Amino acid sequence: MSTAAIIVAAGRGRRAGPGLPKQWRELGGRTVLSRTLETFRSAPQIGPIVLVLAPDDMGLAAGYAAHPDVRVATGGTTRDASVRAGLEALADSSPERVLIHDGARPLVDQGIIARVCAALDSHPGAAPALAVNDALWRASEGRVGSVVNRDELFRAQTPQGFHFPAILAAHRAHPGGAADDVEIARAAGIEVAIVEGAEHNLKITTAADFARAEMYLAARERRAQERTGRQMDIRTGNGFDVHAFSEGDHVVLCGVRIPYARGLKGHSDADVGMHALTDAIYGALAEGDIGRHFPPSDPQWKGADSRIFLEHALARARARGYVLSNADLTLICEEPRIGPHAPAMARALAEIAGTEAGRISVKATTSERLGFTGRGEGIAALASVTLVAP
């Protein structure tokens, strides 16, 4: 499922005091905005990113737009206007989901992003928040007027995630002036689930917030240094598969249907590329191969979509705490031509894996007319994957 992100960084941040706008100031030796952007670019769930900058900052856009997964849009005078600009920049590609995040929340982590994305599987909207723990008073002329019940109160954070068509329509219909995107979503009748936020996911607003952020950042770096003393849990796996040609008018490779004078023979849909990738994941987990989990002797898998196998292998990896860091797949054949279809194959596999296409490599080679592939008798595939426990 395609998930884009919008990072809003068009504000002037006057409450942070004199000097550069807060998103351009340094935090731990790097700008606030660069820290925010890096977290989203490294999130496996996130595909294209729209960075919304103020008109006066567009001179800095080229460096960010140089990243193939980042677009830059010109923001408005209000936050909701800037978010609307980011949404409109995505309208042509129309992702299925979008996460909207404040550029001035540089300590957002992968766990928060993952929780929002997971909640969107079953809700039209989701946002992180923290329960209010302190007592709340309503003031009257500088004195305590009444006590406010805090039981159902939360402190809102970002990223706030939504199904893309719905939030785009909601922004287009809203008159403006909303505090955040949840307010706009609720005005349009969109249900928003609350997921767990984090104290360190603070929004830098005042000069004092920089000191708090430095404190959280230092604690994070200490934990990272402690982890370097332990062995990282990284697993690699290889997969190899072969299918012979048979009668037919197309082949299915990596989920993409390619017209061809012949088909591929197999118990399932004979997607040799997806089979090799699936076996590579099972291999990295030391859990055998497709045949162990989906025996060809079982008639229920006759003609099955190979997506079922790949999704099962990925689910097994997630259940054990791993994410797919990258995959490299080589298709070996004389025909059909693979090159024109390789980008679509990478996108199809990335969609199944819930990651960005840039983490999936699909390429092709021939065997120089040698062997069964060289004689045009079938197609072989070789895949390698890396799984990482974050």
**Extents of the domains making up the chain:** 3-228, 234-388
**244-263, pLDDT tens digit by residue?**
999 999 999 998 999 999 98
Q: Which of 205, 183, 217, 34 is nearest to 100 (CA)?
A: 183
Tell me the mean pLDDT in the region 174-202. Answer: 95
- Residue 231 pLDDT level (bands cut at 50, 70, 90): low
Q: Report yes or no: 157 and 181 within 8 Å, Cβ to Cβ.
A: no
Mean pLDDT of the chain: 90
In DSSP terms, 6 is beta-bridged to: 50, 100
How many other C-beta atoms are found inside a 10 Å radius of the C-beta of residue 149?
8
Query: CA angle, corner 69, sides to 317 and 352, nearest 5?
Result: 30
Query: CA angle, corner 45, sides to 101 and 94, nearest 5?
Result: 70
CA 251 to chain centre: 29
List b or e across 247-259, with b for residues whose CB sees 16 or more CB atoms inside 10 angstroms.
Answer: eeeebbbbbbebe
**268-283, pLDDT tens digit by residue?**
888 999 999 999 999 9
pTM of the model: 0.60
Residue 215 makes CB contacts below 8 A (sequence gap 6+) with none
Level-2 CATH architecture, domain 3-228: Alpha-Beta Complex (3.90)
**59-113, pLDDT tens digit by residue?**
887 888 888 899 999 999 999 999 999 999 999 998 999 999 999 999 999 999 9
Tell me the mean pLDDT in the region 360-388. Answer: 92
Tell me the mean pLDDT in the region 28-39. Answer: 90
For 195, the token pair is: 């997921």
In Å, the largest CA–CA distance within the chain is: 90
φ/ψ bin of 308: left (φ > 0), alpha (ψ from -120 to 50), beta (otherwise): alpha
Q: Checking DSSP bridges between strand 160-163 and strand 125-131, what pairing results, if any?
A: antiparallel
How many other C-beta atoms are found inside a 10 Å radius of the C-beta of residue 199?
11
Residue with the two structure tokens 């660069």:
34
Residue 374 three-state SS? helix
For residue 390, the model assigns a pLDDT of 66
Tell me the mean pLDDT in the region 150-168. Answer: 96
- Residue 230 pLDDT level (bands cut at 50, 70, 90): low
SS3 annotation, 59-71: HHHHHHHCCCCEE
Q: Is 132 exposed, middle or buried (0-12, 13-18, 19+ CB in 10 A)?
A: middle
Query: CA angle, corner 27, sides to 218 and 37, nearest 5?
Result: 105
For residue 120, the model assigns a pLDDT of 96
For 48, the token pair is: 């294209």
Q: Is the CATH number of domain 234-388 3.30.470.20?
A: no
For 19, the token pair is: 């000097």
Q: Is 242 exposed, middle or buried (0-12, 13-18, 19+ CB in 10 A)?
A: middle
